[in-house]
Amino acid sequence: MKGKLRITILLLCSITTLVLKAFFQVAGGGASLIFVLSIPFLMGLGIVFALMDWFLIMKMKNLTIKNSLFIIKTIILIGLSLSLFPYA
């Protein structure tokens, strides 16, 4: 997979909370505080993961380790966005 596509996927995984907000019912008034805290955190984490992928992982020669680390970072971002989403 190309480097720019990997970075785009990581950045898109960091905004899955916004996509979930459009499709699922959100819990009561305290949910807005969760959105205010979780969305910037997940976006920042996605940017950090993308920068790690761009600067550090691209220099690695072993393709298996590169792909494994990319999958782990993607699962972390999606898992955190699903666990931090305030379902009704």
| Helix (H), strand (E), coil (C) string for the chain | CCHHHHHHHHHHHCCHHHHHHHHCCECCCCHHHHHHHHHHHHHHHHHHHHHHHHHCHHHCCCHHHHHHHHHHHHHHHHHHHHHHCCEC
Every domain of the chain and the residues it spans:
3-84
Query: Residue 74 has what pLDDT?
Result: 94
Phi, psi dihedrals of residue 60, rounded to the nearest 5°? -75, 145
Q: What is the pTM of this model?
A: 0.82
User: CA-CA distance, 6 to 10, in Å (whole number)?
Assistant: 6
Render pLDDT for 15-64 as a digit per residue (tens, 0 to 9). 888 888 778 777 776 777 777 888 889 999 999 999 988 888 778 888 88
Query: Residue 88 has what pLDDT?
Result: 58
Query: Residue 75 has what pLDDT?
Result: 95
